[in-house]
Amino acid sequence: MVIKALRIGLGQLIVFLDFISRPRKLKRSPAAQAAVEQAAAGLALYQFHACPFCVKTRRALHKLNVPVSLRDAKNDAQHRQALLEQGGKIKVPCLRIEENGQSTWLYESKAIIAYLQQRFANA
């Protein structure tokens, strides 16, 4: 019981610190931002709100100014089930990449951030 309360408290602290120290968004021309938004339409991030690795990934998304659908795999049974059945395991963060009718599930915050940097940093 005490450990659960401590974990919840630390999670909320992480979310708060993220909120007050969030990096600035990357500025693009309206046409370039529209292209990024179109390219990001096939992306979805399965995450837990207070997970430190998910916060790290969301910060990268915010900094790169990439709008991605966020899926709560902790409190939403439908998203949790999709992550398990289609991704293969309940592990977050997980980026679902939908391209050419095929889904790719990318786990690990470092791999997700590297993918986002490579795809959107110079867009």
Per-position DSSP letters for 41-83, written without gaps between them: TTEEEEE-TT-HHHHHHHHHHHHHT---EEEETTT-HHHHHHI
Domains of the chain with CATH codes: 2-23+30-120 (3.40.30.10)
- pLDDT one-digit tens code per residue, 30-88: 999 999 999 999 999 999 988 999 999 999 999 999 999 999 999 999 999 999 999 99
In 3D space, the residue among 25, 94, 27 whose CA is nearest the CA of residue 60 turns out to be 25
**Residue of higher predicted confidence among 14 and 32:** 32
pTM metric for this prediction: 0.88
Q: Which amino acid is at 58?
A: R
Q: SS3 of 89, please?
A: coil
Residues β-bridged to residue 84? none
